[in-house]
Copies of this chain bind each other. A is one copy, B any other.
Amino acid sequence: MSGLLLKNIRPFGGAATNILIRDGRIASIGSGEPENVKVEDGNGAIAIPGFVEAHAHLDKSLWGMGWHAHQAGPTLEDKISTERRLRRELDIDPRRQSARQVALAASHGTTAIRSHVDVDTDQKLWCFEGVAETRQHFRDVVDMEIVAFPQSGMMIRPGTLELMDAALAAGADVVGGLDPCGIDRDPKGQLDAVFGLAEKHGKPIDIHLHEPDALGAFSLELIIERTRALGMRGKVTVSHAFCLGMTDRLRVNALVEQLAREDIAIATTAPAGWPAPAADELRRAGVRLCAGSDGIRDTWGPYGNLDMLERALFIGLRNNFRNDSDVEYALHVCTQGGADVLKLESYGLHEGAHADLVLIDAETIPEAVAARPKRKLVLKRGQPIARDGQALITVE
């Protein structure tokens, strides 16, 4: 027997058909039922491409380590310093914890992940190396991009820039950054350094920008200017971008127009508690939008589960999406939207695409988003990695 036939499945909730998978790719889609292949009956389940988790922190989750009582202070700096202290105290081992996150993500249907990984003068490359080990170990389960992320600041912690440089030389895929005003107090210095690393290593950029209102708009302008000046069109992502949720719509519209012009992507968690980019505005302007879970039950907070179908719900709720086509767009952000940002090759449900896909028992995509049933089957390159909500891989 060669190949796997997914029988009676409905791509994107459409008409029932069969998908034949050979050599890890979709060989054909249609009513045919070739002989001598393994058959999996979908019983009318919806098929979608694997979820793309475009903003995670796999190195810092406390998943599986017992409950941690959250008591960090209210500021970003409180949470950063609390985390730095607790990493070693609690033994938050990046390799073990990232492996657990891969299993958790797989159980929910995620087949590609962009993970930020802390690089600082305390941890040095410990987090990067642990997550890189997980990436290698589970390379058949998930496509993983690693962002070298200066969580504790770069300019305010001398030595961090050199560690970032080392992480990128050692295989980190993306240059990270963080609140150039709010954390580093030196927006020109930090952004010149970040873009400098990107030029040196020929790698894309993904910058956390929590700064709100006019402050975030200022930092975003600096990012746009450098993207244009250095010819990095299409290679920069801004995560969170809370400033795009500010009340000054004229200012936001002007920023969105420039984001579209430089093809700068936005990654969102669709937060309920912060101003956030309006998905619809970005869609209309042609700005690529992807989504992610951010932290998963870490020292920053108790929430999160790496379930991108739940994230689609959060996008829907945050944006007041009610009509079917809007809710379908929320799911699109969590699948194709992520693939467009990570630039995944051969992604989707078409002949020749990688057979990374998810079966979900639901009548329609919006019902799947609203009800979030356990994933019936998750395939990575045609191989089952989860079934009935349970990952089929073993981790500590």
Report whether A363 and B66 are in contact in the complex, using a CB–CB cutoff of 8 Å: yes
| Residue numbers in B under 8 Å from A318 (CB-CB) | 272-273
Query: Is A317 a contact of B363 with CB atoms below 8 Å?
Result: no
A297 at the interface (CB under 8 A from B): yes
A65 CB → nearest B CB, Å:
11
Determine how close the nearest CB of chain B comes to the CB of A150; give it in whole angstroms.
23
CA distance A97 to B48 in the complex (A): 31
CA distance A366 to B71 in the complex (A): 12
Q: Is there an interface contact between A367 and B322, defined as CB atoms closer than 8 Å?
A: no
Within 8 A of B (CB), among A289-308: 297, 300-305
Q: A67-B366, A247-B247 are in contact. Are A302 and B322 (CB under 8 A)?
A: yes
A90 to chain B, nearest CB (A): 15
Contact A317 B303 (CB under 8 A): yes
Interface string of A245-277 (1 = CB under 8 A from B): 001000000000000000000000011111000
Q: Is the CB of A327 within 8 A of B302?
A: yes
- A369 proximity list for chain B (CB < 8 A): 302
Rounded to whole angstroms, the CA-CA distance of A319 and B301 in the bound complex is: 13
A305 to B66, CA, bound (A): 28
> Are A323 and B72 closer than 8 Å at their CB atoms?
yes
Alpha-carbon gap, A148 to B324, bound state (A): 30
Q: Tell me if A347 is interfacial: C-beta within 8 Å of chain B.
A: no
Interface centre among A271, A272, A301 (most CB of B within 10 A): A272
Q: Mark A226-249, 1 if CB is under 8 A from B, else 0.
A: 000000000000000000000100
CA distance A67 to B10 in the complex (A): 15
Complex contacts, A319 vs chain B, CB 8 Å: 273
Q: A320 contacts which chain B residues (CB < 8 A)?
A: 273-274
State whether the Cβ of A329 lies closer than 8 Å to any Cβ in chain B.
no
Interface hub of A302, A314, A323 (most chain B Cβ within 10 A): A302
Q: CB-CB < 8 A to A303: which residues of B? A: 313, 316-317, 370
Chain A residues within CB distance 8 Å of chain B = 66-67, 69-72, 247, 270-274, 297, 300-305, 313-314, 316-320, 322-324, 327, 363-364, 366-367, 369-371
Known contacts A71-B324, A302-B324, A303-B317, then 16 further A-B pairs from the complex at CB < 8 Å, ordered by chain A residue:
A66-B363, A67-B366, A69-B364, A70-B324, A70-B366, A72-B322, A270-B272, A271-B272, A271-B317, A272-B318, A300-B322, A302-B322, A302-B366, A302-B369, A305-B370, A305-B371
